[in-house]
């Protein structure tokens, strides 16, 4: 078995490199081949994963959700699909949390060495792949607009501060949405698509009954209302994503969304597409390592 560990040396507080020697030793003790590659510039994990996908049985990524998204995009561009595992070292770490993976390296390595992955859906928005979420509107830009200096200094509090500022901005996105069940036309302040029940470090326990291998994605859409826009958005998150009469909820394998060019789509916490998009679910495209709890919940 051949393994490649790709990691972002500045992710989180930049301390993951201190764990490399320990990780290498665990592989040596089992006579397993491990190569290690630290990211050197923006988006090079995407390119490295694409170029090396056919040379390894496993690609392991350590970093935040952005680094994980890079590696997934690299794998999905390749005709070869190695197995995939995460060692989280970012701030929010939604992708890892969804799969039941925490920052305990010994525990994560134990799961990897058991070599018992599950098949998972991968989503696509225009030409970019994503793991668990895409969104547009209020609160969706803060994950990539925050400076790394501020994020390193304040951690998750930086997200909350920027989120409070963004609530006063005007978002009224006119959209026509074609999906498996028909067509919807309305004006929205927030569109949130999720494969699971976590986003932005929060568990939205009332959001959906989604499975990560059912070939479906749920969109929750909050219509624009000038008087109650802040209350509607805050109420949505305070109620952990529970649907009410003011929300539109769509479940589909494919969405065609027509909107204006100034609408920016967040993809796994990073800036993604702009304007009109096609979102589709690619059923069971990747083998990933997950905990027993995550498998029971999402598979």
Does residue 156 surpass a pLDDT of 50? Answer: no
Residue pair 112/86 in contact (Cβ under 8 Å)? The answer is no
Q: Which domain holds residue 41?
A: 2-116
Q: Give the pLDDT of residue 213.
A: 96
Q: Name the pTM for this structure.
A: 0.90
CB 268 within 8 A of CB 69: yes
Q: Are residues 7 and 139 in the same domain?
A: no
What is the average pLDDT across 127-156?
73
**Do 143 and 250 reside in the same domain of the chain?**
yes
> Could you tell me if 102 and 163 lie in one domain?
no
For residue 2, the model assigns a pLDDT of 97
pLDDT tens digit string along 18-44? 999 999 999 999 999 999 999 998 889
| Cα separation, 299 vs 247, whole angstroms | 26
Flag whether 21 is in a domain.
yes
Pair 14, 146 in one domain: no
Q: Same structural domain for residues 260 and 170?
A: yes
- CA pair distance 263, 273, nearest whole angstrom: 9
Q: How many domains does the chain divide into?
A: 2
168 located within any domain: yes
- Tell me the CATH number at 262: 2.60.200.40
Whether residues 50 and 133 share a domain: the answer is no
Residue 122 lies in a domain: no
- Residue 197, domain member (yes or no): yes
Check if the beta carbon of residue 178 is closer than 8 Å to that of residue 256: yes
CATH of residue 52's domain is 3.40.50.10330
Task: Work out the end-to-end distance of the chain between its first and last CA atoms, rounded to an integer number of angstroms.
Answer: 26
- 68 and 17 in a single domain? The answer is yes
Residue 299 inside a domain? The answer is no
Residues 21 and 83 reside in one and the same domain: yes
Q: pLDDT tens-digit profile of 167-220? A: 556 678 999 999 999 999 999 999 999 999 998 888 888 886 778 999 999 999
Q: Where does residue 152 rank: exposed (0-12), middle (13-18), buried (19+ CB within 10 A)?
A: middle
Q: Is there a single domain that holds both residue 51 and residue 136?
A: no
Q: Does residue 226 have a pLDDT over 80?
A: no
Could you tell me which residues come within 8 angstroms of residue 49 by beta carbon, excluding any fewer than 6 positions away? 6, 59, 61, 70, 71, 72, 73, 74, 75, 78
Within a domain: 221: yes
What are the angstrom distances between the C-alpha of 127 and each of 76, 196, 259, 272? Answer: 11, 22, 17, 10
Looking at residue 6, its pLDDT comes to: 97
Predicted pLDDT at 168: 57
pLDDT more than 70, % of the chain:
89
Contact by Cβ (8 Å): 101, 272:
no
> 140: closest CA among 110, 166, 112?
166
Say yes or no: 134 and 220 in one domain: yes
Per the domain annotation, does 210 fall within a domain? yes
Whole-number percent of the chain with pLDDT over 90:
67
Residue 197 to residue 6: CA distance in whole angstroms: 27
Q: Judge if 19 and 51 occupy the same domain.
A: yes
- For residues 153 and 91, membership in a common domain is answered with no
Whether 295 is covered by a domain: the verdict is: no
């Amino acid at each position: 078995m051949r393994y490649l560990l790709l990691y972002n040396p500045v992710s989180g507080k930049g301390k993951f490199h201190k764990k490399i020697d320990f990780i290498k030793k665990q592989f040596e003790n089992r006579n397993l081949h491990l190569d290690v590659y630290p990211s050197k510039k923006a988006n090079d994990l995407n390119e490295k994963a694409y170029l090396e996908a056919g040379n390894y049985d496993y690609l392991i990524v350590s970093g935040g959700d952005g680094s994980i998204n890079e590696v997934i995009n690299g794998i999905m561009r390749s005709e070869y699909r190695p197995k995939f595992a995460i060692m989280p070292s970012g701030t929010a770490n939604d992708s890892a949390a969804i799969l039941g993976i925490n920052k305990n390296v010994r525990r994560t390595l134990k799961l990897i060495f058991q070599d018992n992955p599950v098949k998972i859906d991968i989503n696509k928005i225009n030409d970019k792949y994503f793991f668990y979420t895409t969104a547009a509107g209020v609160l969706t830009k803060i994950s990539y607009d925050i400076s790394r200096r501020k994020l390193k200094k304040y951690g998750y509090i930086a997200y909350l501060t920027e989120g409070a500022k963004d609530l006063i901005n005007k978002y009224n996105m006119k959209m026509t949405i074609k999906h498996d069940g028909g067509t919807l036309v309305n004006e929205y302040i927030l569109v949130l698509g999720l494969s699971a029940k976590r986003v932005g470090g929060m568990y939205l326990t009332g959001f959906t009954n989604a499975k990560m291998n059912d070939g479906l994605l749920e969109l929750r859409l909050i219509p624009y209302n000038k008087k109650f826009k802040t209350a509607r958005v805050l109420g949505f998150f305070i109620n952990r994503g529970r649907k009410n009469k003011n929300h539109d909820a769509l479940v589909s394998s494919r969405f065609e969304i027509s909107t204006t060019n100034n609408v920016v789509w967040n993809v796994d916490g990073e800036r993604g597409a702009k304007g009109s998009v096609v979102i589709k679910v690619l059923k069971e495209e990747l083998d990933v390592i997950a905990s027993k709890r995550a498998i029971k919940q999402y598979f």
